[in-house]
Structure 1
């Protein structure tokens, strides 16, 4: 009987100790990372979906710029072929490959948009202007989503590395740090898609 009383007394203490060891905070932080990743993926997909429409709109105006259109199309194909799921977010090589492909696409897109500065008819095309606005908004959303993802990763990585959550993270979940996105070398902003259409 005395043993059962002691066990009854220890059960709440054990539950409290386990609760302080990351049993709830680690999966909560990981789900936050996964949700932020899903938002970022959706924004990258939106950009990828806009590119074929942009390329088709531009094709009729500038046949001599065909090589730039091909570069953008190839960069889009490569960026959309590299799939990264929530389980890959702890693998620096996979995250870097995904980030490099997205960076190459952004760079190609920036070159495409800069190339067509010389085409006044294109700059006044309503379809092109609408796509330009959508693309600019998408680039802004990508930047915000990357920032949100990196913050979620920072919180998760802090949770799994600090006491007492680190105990549960290691013992119960085998948690590994997630990889944040880093700024690309030489890029401090999204591609400039302003065509100065007022002029």
Structure 2
């Protein structure tokens, strides 16, 4: 039997294809066949139906625990973002005393401090804006020798770099849980039937902004 995906015969895409995350939540649905399956189990001397009921309860508990892990990992990202905002707020205050930094920097920081970042739909957007704030302060830090000699600012920028690495790790952890969720809720029969009855949908993992992806293609050296 021939390979269904044949890397020698193609088709191939020599020019390459960019990868994008589809921003869509897919509801989990089951058909009449799943309902018939459950009815048949209960008709077989009740015991198989009882066993399957226990399995569904176990699957339901598992999915609820996994959902809490997703929430916990999302909170971890927010926690690091909050710390980074505080560091950048302190750094921008120092920079503002030395040069005229763009007023939008403080506006962006204030937006995050207002508490709007808890919404999953805004997390990526605000994270991208914070990244822009960091870039502005970094540019100022590198362009003005007097600022580089400021020990407090130097320490803040080092902490900023550390927090960015922690944010990246936390995002990876979040995406791992989301990936597990998206796969598990489609496992038939137990988890899929439970997910369909609960109205669960797939979840959207963290995605980089268009600007960040474009920046990654730049020549740095």
| Cα separation, 2, equivalents of 1:177 and 1:84 | 21
Q: Secondary structure at the match of 1:187?
A: helix
Superposition RMSD in Å = 2.5
Unaligned runs of 5+ in 1: 1-5, 90-94, 191-199
Structure-1-length-normalised TM-score: 0.74
Does the Cα contact within 8 Å between 1:169 and 1:175 map onto a contact in 2? yes
Structure 2 residue aligned with 1:92: none
Structure 1 residue aligned with 2:81: 44
Which aligned pairs between 1:28-177 and structure 2 lie closer than 5 A?
A: 28-62=65-99, 65-66=100-101, 68=102, 70-81=103-114, 83-85=116-118, 89=120, 95=121, 97-164=122-189, 165-171=191-197, 173-177=198-202
Structure-2-length-normalised TM-score: 0.68
| Cα separation, 1, equivalents of 2:204 and 2:115 | 16
Counterpart pick for 1:183 among 176, 195, 208: 208
Number of paired residues?
170
Q: Which has the higher helix share?
A: 1
Residue by residue over 1:33-52, the C-alpha shift from the partner in whole angstroms, topping out at 9 and shown as x without a partner, is 11111111101111111122
**1:83: Cα distance to partner?**
2.6
| Cα separation, 2, equivalents of 1:98 and 1:80 | 13
| Cα separation, 2, equivalents of 1:46 and 1:59 | 20
**1:119: Cα distance to partner?**
1.3
**1:10: Cα distance to partner?**
5.4
**1:123: Cα distance to partner?**
0.3
Would the alpha carbon gap of residues 101 and 14 (structure 1) be closer, same or farther in structure 2, given more than 3 Å must change? closer
| Cα separation, 1, equivalents of 2:55 and 2:174 | 30
Would the alpha carbon gap of residues 145 and 189 (structure 1) be closer, same or farther in structure 2, given more than 3 Å must change? farther
| Cα separation, 1, equivalents of 2:110 and 2:187 | 41
| Cα separation, 2, equivalents of 1:82 and 1:140 | 23
